[in-house]
Structure 1
Amino acid sequence: MAVIKDHDLSDIEDEEDNLDEEPGEVIESAPPLMVGEEREINTSLGLKKKLLKQGHGFETPQFGDEVTVHYVSTQMDGSKLDSTRDKEKPYSFKLGDGQVMYGLDYGIVTMSKGEVALFTLPSGTVGANNVSPDSNIQFEVELLSWIAVVDICKDGGIIKKILSRGETNEQPGDLDEVTVKYQVMLDDGTVVAKTPEEGVEFYVKDGHFCPALPKVLKTMKRGEQVKLIIQPQYAFGEHGLTAENGFSTIPASSVLNMDLELVSFKPVIDVTGDTKVLKKILKEGEGSLVAEEGSTVASKYLVWILDHFFN
């Protein structure tokens, strides 16, 4: 991008702490922009937005997400500074990471997918690449797509990039049984673990592969597909893993890259509160009524103890 300021996400967070309003607050507290309408959306930055084309849906990206855009940047006299459309290649970057001109990030977080908007940044926020510091700059931006990026543990140890969102809002808990598919690679691309085509089943609390899995799975929805970057402290640490149980050797202090899909899960309920009686739901029932104590019920059951069973 033609005009870049050396600001990163920490700068933006510090800036937000000092602002009377959060980015996008004016947009959220006022009626949505109509096509052709222009409004100042961040008074502290003097950032203006003119809507050129409505987007799809109501979701918008957040700081830390990876967005892909087309843009054309110009000075107020119409002279062009840069254009991805001329290059016929969109630009992808992480919001708040200092990869675009400071202030533009605050505009993009107000956009929905497919939206086209014209942003005007006032003098004082620019001044690089032969652009006069007293010259306003305009960016025509089309938001093509974005990948939500989540720092699971808030320490950079497990980064989750959401490739495909799940089907519902339900997420598994520690006791639930999940079916997942995954492929795990080292930084050099070496595959060290991969599930069969049908996936594998295990209880979330058991972890199955590495300590990162339970933490990630409890943030996922059924059908969700993600890419993970797992630092050693949430993988196999300083000792690595010796080849065993179908897993390849993983060197000490390895960063793991995992493609993960939560295919499905079966809720498990702690009936007595002490894990002595657990109920795994294999098939959801109909309606919302449940039998009360003293009710007469008809049921079918199968009981097994160790290697013996009866019905």
Structure 2
Amino acid sequence: MGDFNSKKSNKVNFETKIQDSQEIVIGKEGLRKKILQKGNSWKTPFHGDEIQVHYRVKLQDGEFFDSSYDRGKTFTFKLGQGEVIKGWDEGIATMKKSERAILTIPPNLAYGEIGSPPLIPPNSILIFEIELISWNSIRDISGDGGILKKIIKEGQGWATPRDVDEVLVKYVASSADGKILSQSDDAVEFSLMEGHLYPAMKKSLKTMRKGEIVELIVKPPYYFGNSSFDGDGIGILQSSNSNLIIHLELISWKSVVDVIGDNKVLKKLIKAGEGYDHPNEGSLAKVVYIGKLLDGTIFERKGSHEEPFEYVCLEGQLNEYVDRAIMTMKKGEEAIVTINSHSMFYEIKLVDFNKEKPFWKMETKEKIEACDKIKNEGNVLFKDGKFQCASRKYEKECNSFSFLFFFYSVLHMSITICLSLKQFKERLMFFM
């Protein structure tokens, strides 16, 4: 089976037009294709996809002897899995949805020296008229065939949930014989970091797009985990060693940011903000927030919609975790910040902010004044016992002075060069 990222490597990539006909040569073993009706898309199927076709077949100089049209039912198979003759796998991989084509398949890509008696003699060239009706994309999520994802409905956009995001899903889980083991009566929301019921759901959801609906075929090593469905259901699967089938829909998800990088401070987006910019150290921010314990008890409240709380980022006026979370937010953004180590969370809205002017954009006088201001702010913080904040201020001042030192060094060098050139020119004029 081809994985989700397989592209051209899974496709027949050798096609040469024969100059004197409408046929196309596919590969290097004599397979030929003639298009009767063009497809209505640019997409072609991947290896592992579940293909639905109509076909009729005849020997090179004979009458059609088999037809799915006559049976009134499409033929279904998995591409590239050896379920059909090699000429089909290679030829249909080049077709588009609704395309009709004639495949001329040599014996080495069909039934070879043995044939398929009594209808197909040895060393027969077969002529297939094939119509590619549609296909369901199937992806090997686990990489070893343990979790196969068949896409029933394509999702929207290109983004997929990340490890820490919270997803909203609907699902029905059943055994291979159709017995329902567990299902969501309503939509269920959970964190991908924690998972829900079956490990296969968590793994698969990270490959899905908003609105995507899939069917998961899960082998035994992947359907056990922190399961909460009934014991009889587990027993059925254990005793039969059968596959678990999960019909899964990703309705939406909420983006979560790991603020510190250790999963201890997580910011869940409730309402998106404006633009792309966010506060940095020294920015003047206006916020409204409420701090709560996990049981809902309010222990802190800052600002209101009428009068937001105003503070300078990373100067010790707020809980540092909250402060750093706010520095990841955009103007107008609303979020819930959970501090797992303290069993508390904050409901925050960043009303507005004024970003500190970058040092490299300042005039020389402004840079000197900024360094002096940073030093004084560091002194105040140090006297107040906020040593970590003071340390950051002093470090920022040192970096700024380093920049100024570099600036003045370059300026001094430039002046020296200019004076040297002037002296050289004067001496040269003396000798002329």
The verdict on a shared fold, with TM-score over 0.5 as the criterion, is yes
CA distance in 2, matches of 1:22, 1:279: 40
Show structure 2 runs of 5+ residues with no match: 3-8, 302-432
1:23 is displaced (CA, Å) by 4.5
1:117 counterpart residue number: 101
TM norm structure 1: 0.82
Say which is worse superposed, 261-270 or 124-133, in terms of deviation. 124-133
TM norm structure 2: 0.60
CA contact (8 A) 2:182 2:229 kept: no
The Cα offsets for residues 177-211 of structure 1, whole Å up to 9 and x where unpaired, read as: 000100111233221111023x1000012111022
**Is the counterpart of residue 235 in structure 1 residue 219 in structure 2?**
no
Please tell me the residue identity of whatever aligns with 1:243: D
Runs of 4+ in 1 over 6 A off after TM superposition: none
Say which is worse superposed, 280-289 or 145-154, in terms of deviation. 280-289
CA spacing shift, 1:232–1:241, aligned 2, 3 Å: farther
Please tell me the residue identity of whatever aligns with 2:217: I
Calculate percent identity across the aligned residue pairs: 41
CA distance in 2, matches of 1:288, 1:193: 42
CA contact (8 A) 2:197 2:229 kept: no
Coordinate RMSD, CA, aligned: 2.7
CA contact (8 A) 1:84 1:90 kept: yes
CA distance in 2, matches of 1:110, 1:308: 62
The Cα offsets for residues 222-254 of structure 1, whole Å up to 9 and x where unpaired, read as: 1111111212211238xx97738xxx6421625
1:178 counterpart residue number: 167
CA spacing shift, 1:123–1:276, aligned 2, 3 Å: closer
1:97 is displaced (CA, Å) by 3.2
2:284 aligns to what SS in structure 1? coil
2:170 aligns to what SS in structure 1? strand
Q: Specify which structure has the higher proportion of helix.
A: 2
2:52 counterpart residue number: 68
- Indicate which of 206, 209, 230 corresponds to 1:221: 209
Equivalent residue runs for 1:24-103 within 5 Å: 24-27=12-15, 37-43=22-28, 45-103=29-87
1:281 is displaced (CA, Å) by 1.6
2:193 counterpart residue number: 205
CA distance in 2, matches of 1:53, 1:249: 49
Equivalent residue runs for 1:120-269 within 5 Å: 120-125=104-109, 126=111, 127-129=115-117, 130-197=119-186, 199-236=187-224, 243=230, 249-251=233-235, 253=238, 254=241, 255-269=243-257
Please tell me the residue identity of whatever aligns with 1:298: K
- Name which structure has the greater RCO, CA cutoff 8 Å, separation 6+: 1
- Indicate which of 288, 295, 308 corresponds to 2:276: 288
CA contact (8 A) 2:259 2:265 kept: yes
CA contact (8 A) 1:175 1:205 kept: yes
- Rg comparison, structure with higher value: 2
CA spacing shift, 1:194–1:241, aligned 2, 3 Å: closer
CA distance in 1, matches of 2:201, 2:277: 35
- The count of corresponding residues between Structure 1 and Structure 2 is 282
CA contact (8 A) 1:68 1:144 kept: yes
Show structure 1 runs of 5+ residues with no match: 1-8, 11-20
